[in-house]
Structure 1
Amino acid sequence: MKLVWSPKRASGAYLDTVKSCGGLNRESSAAELISAMAAGWNAKLIVEAWFSGGATTTSVGLAIAARHSGGRHVCIVQDEKSKIDYVAAMQEYSGVSLPEVVVGEAVEVIETLAGVDFLVVDARCKYYNRVFRVAKLSHLGAVLACKNATQLGINHRIKWVGVLDGATRIVRSVVLPVGNGLDIAYISSNGQKLDCQHSSSHRWISHVDPHSGEEHLFRQ
């Protein structure tokens, strides 16, 4: 049993997100990359913890990824007002499916969802680190992403070993200069490495910073 990287799904989700978000900017840049990652990993249960008042471009990207992978997309919002604001913002994007919107504290709601294989949490959310800790991850492994990571401090990295329980094996982690910082961890809950079955030409994801024009590469 393994997670398999699909370049075709990744590129399709990336392009669809670019079209939906209306071009490159600081926030949509992160959304495009997250969308490509979720679709490329063929995620079946995509969960995000949305920060009230934040942008919804990441949600748009995840909705597109779920469409490409045939997965379930769940967004956790703090209260009913946040839900109204979130739904209204998502409806501004034509052709994008609204995810399942669940109201409640993310750290409590996440415990009711089993088999999460792609989890995105905004660092501005309350108890963001506990959300990662209590998540019931898929036995096939999972990808965890913390967006707006620079909110935690300059050059800060999540200490994933301390955040996750001892039974969760971290395969690799990386911090990307995308948006306001994206801290990502690839994990295998059953203690086996994630298996990327693709040619060597597809073992890297390329991302071009829209501001500096620099190309950033990170390995899957």
Structure 2
Amino acid sequence: MKLVWSPETASKAYIDTVKSCEVFEESSVAELVSAMVGGWKAQLIVEMWCHGGVITTSIGLVRASHHTGGRHVCVVPEERSRLAYVKAMDEVGISPEVIVGEVEEVMGALMGIDFLVADCRQKDFSRILRFAKLSHRGAVLVCKNASPRNNSGFRWRSVLDSSARVVRTAYLPVGEGLEMAHVAATSSGGSLSSGTKVSRWVRHMDHESGEEHVYRR
């Protein structure tokens, strides 16, 4: 099974986000990621946020999750960020799900992420990507604030787990710059490293003796 694009859901998520972000001056990133979440029908949407950041992207992700029936989770580094985020989202009528904690612990508890939004301005954004437990259906990864002058030399393979198979990447001059990657689905429900072999049972019939042998390869 893999992510399959739905133009209808993408359109609904986009329009809903446009309406919700009318009062904000900068909402292009929110509208784009919302349409992407809707189009891919993402079920577990994880976003990284820290104190001082904008909430338009969050609004777009939440609106899109309503159309996909998915779960939106915001991960913040400390209590100050959590309080600021909850307050800002409450002002637009949204009660968010927020998790505070260390990267390894938090990402380890979020299994099957199929849409992830990180911020290149956060010092630990590369660790967030490396420890993310992506869905076996595949995943779409987005890094905000990735303009060349702020993030020269960005390479997806340098920040992802070695088992992740990147299908395609793109840079879009939207907002302060977006780096995006599509990670392929895995056939076994989980990522396998290139050196991992899958064993299987093999049945062999000895036609001379009439005996049947079963062994594992």
**What TM-score bracket applies, with the shorter chain setting the length?**
0.7 to 0.9
1:165 to 161, 166, 180: 161
Pick closer, same or farther for the CA change 1:157–1:5 going to 2, 3 Å.
farther
Larger RCO (CA within 8 A; separation ≥ 6): 1
TM-score after normalising by structure 1: 0.80
What do the CA deviations read for 1:143-170 (whole angstroms, capped 9, x no partner)?
00000112x6357352111211221100
Structure 2 unpaired stretches of 5+: 189-217
2:57 aligns with 58
User: Structure 2 CA distance, aligned partners of 1:175 and 1:23?
Assistant: 27
TM-score after normalising by structure 2: 0.81
Which has the larger Rg? 2
The DSSP-based 3-state class of the residue aligned with 2:91 is coil
Matches for 1:1-220 after TM superposition, within 5 Å: 1-22=1-22, 25-26=25-26, 28-94=27-93, 97-150=94-147, 153=149, 156=152, 158-190=154-186
User: Structure 2 CA distance, aligned partners of 1:4 and 1:160?
Assistant: 22
Q: CA contact under 8 A between 2:120 and 2:151: conserved in structure 1?
A: no
CA RMSD of aligned residues (A): 1.9
Q: CA contact under 8 A between 1:107 and 1:127: conserved in structure 2?
A: no
Code of the residue aligned with 1:43 in structure 2: it is: A
User: Structure 1 CA distance, aligned partners of 2:127 and 2:156?
Assistant: 11
1:212 aligns with none
4+ residue stretches of structure 1 with deviation over 4 A?
Answer: none
What do the CA deviations read for 1:24-77 (whole angstroms, capped 9, x no partner)?
743x11011011101110000000010211111000000011101000110011
Pick closer, same or farther for the CA change 1:149–1:172 going to 2, 3 Å.
same
Alignment size in residue pairs:
188
* Sequence identity percentage: 55
User: Structure 2 CA distance, aligned partners of 1:135 and 1:164?
Assistant: 9
